[in-house]
Chains A and B, each alone.
Chain A
Amino acid sequence: MLKTTLLSVGFALTLGTQALSQSLNICVEGAYPPFSYTTESGSVAGFDIDIANALCDNLGYDCTLVKTGWDGIIPALLERKCDAIIASMAITPERKQVVDFSMKYYNTPARFVGREGMTMDNLNGAVVGVQRGTVHHEYMRGEHPTVDLKLYGSQDEAFLDLAAGRIDAVMGESIASATGFLETEAGEGFAFFGPPISMPKYHGIGAGIAVRQGEEDLRNAISHAIGELRADGTYQKINQKYFDFDIFGG
């Protein structure tokens, strides 16, 4: 009796891994241009999406993109709503306690944005906006504990408040800040200030693809595929569509 049960459990497990090797659900965000945004047809597009599709082609998976809000994206992975997260998620020690990451697929520095003419000397006494639960939030808490923080659910809300004059500066990822704010009408009169910041302690080593802990095969396969995309020029082609420099980083 016990033997049959064990057998059927084993059978179910084999079936499970077999299903996994053919189809893969990938959680994406859809509200973080140019990495991930929603198009007129309701589909998602952007750098993250192109990378996701290229990875799936490379691995031979049949992929489905699952659009998920940022706040629910890790729970969605853990509860098996999807099998991987490709949403510009920075690899950090905190996140590593709950999920595993592939190697990075890009690494861009973080920067402050403020009114033109603002410098790092103005930072104390200023109110700085950051997206809640991000590496930028951690960085501000660790390196600028005396600076007043205002937390937002998304990067765009922080920029809305910056333009509205409710806050003095925003800390965030440089590319999203440039294309999402500085290069738009609303960003007129604002600029980056201070140096590009990339501290592995906070910012980790770049953005990676998250999978559930213990899924070593999938994780290794994805890391390997990222290396192949770099080597065969697919990555560079995607990169070129969105950015004028290599965002893979050093």
Chain B
Amino acid sequence: MLEVLPFLPLLLRGTMVTVALALLGLGLATALGAIGAVGRLSGGRLSAVVVRAYTTLVRGVPDLVMVMLVYFGGQRMLNDIGALAGWDHVSLPPFWAGVLSIGLIYGAYLTETFRGAYMAIPSTQSEAARALGLGRFVTLRKVILPQMLRHALPGYANVWMVLVKSTAVVSVIGLGDLVGMANDIGKSQREPFLFFGFVLLVYLSITWVSNRVFATIERRIAT
């Protein structure tokens, strides 16, 4: 176990990358999920079709493929656009390619989470609000959203748990996240189990802390 110590700073740096990637990915996914849910629920036919295409397509592609597509395919697109526009080489950094991929993938899942949460609220609620003379916006903010939150939270927490672990796929594009770091160090030190054991503990602590946080929030909004 002592062999891990000299590499601790490096592994912690990898952990920071993983956590930053997960949090930014979750932020983007939440935004996309909210837009997607609005598109499915209140928009016209076109927005519903676009959102449905997005969720179907993205949920049907493996995470690994998506990361490769965004990083290499996105770079090719940038190169082609750059060649046309006469820019110098513009590079898509692996970290942002990772955030983009994670956000795109989990935005599709969250679209469904948010849509489901909205549908779980009886339509009588908004009818009652209208009967009381509340406007659309006030109804949404004061009546619908607080109830949606309660319905969405378990699904949201679930998506976060899966998202955290799926950040590991970014190591294929050379990003020094926790798994990528541990993989390289483990192979270089010829002690793969030791370093993957460390990875296991870190992920376990992240999910444990997340569990506590979400449990607290759920308790708060239940009352």
Chain A positions near chain B (C-beta within 8 angstroms): 8-9, 12, 15-16, 19, 30-33, 37-42, 66-69, 71-72, 75-76, 79-81, 154, 156, 160, 180, 184, 186
Contacts and interface: CB of A to CB of B under 8 A. Distances in A.
A160 B186 CA distance: 12
Contacts of B86: 8-9, 12
Contacts of B171: 69
Contacts of A38: 10, 181, 184-185, 187-188
B184 A30 contact: yes
Contacts of A42: 10, 13, 176, 181
A39 B174 contact: no
B187 A154 contact: yes
Describe A's contact surface by its main secondary structure: mixed
Interface residues of B, number: 30
B79 interface: yes
A41 to B, nearest CB: 7
Contacts, number: 78
A31 B188 contact: yes
Interface of B: 6-7, 9-10, 13, 68, 71-72, 75-76, 79, 86-89, 91, 171-174, 176, 180-181, 183-185, 187-188, 190, 192
Interface centre among B89, B183, B190 (most CB of A within 10 A): B190
A220 B180 CA distance: 34
Contacts of B187: 31-33, 37-38, 154, 156
Nearest to A69: B172
A19 B88 contact: yes
Contacts of A79: 72, 75-76, 79
Contacts of B190: 33, 156, 180, 184, 186
Query: Nearest 9 CB-CB pairs, A to B?
Result: A37-B188, A68-B174, A79-B75, A31-B187, A38-B184, A38-B188, A75-B72, A31-B184, A40-B6
B52 to A, nearest CB: 31
A160 B86 CA distance: 49
A67 B174 contact: yes
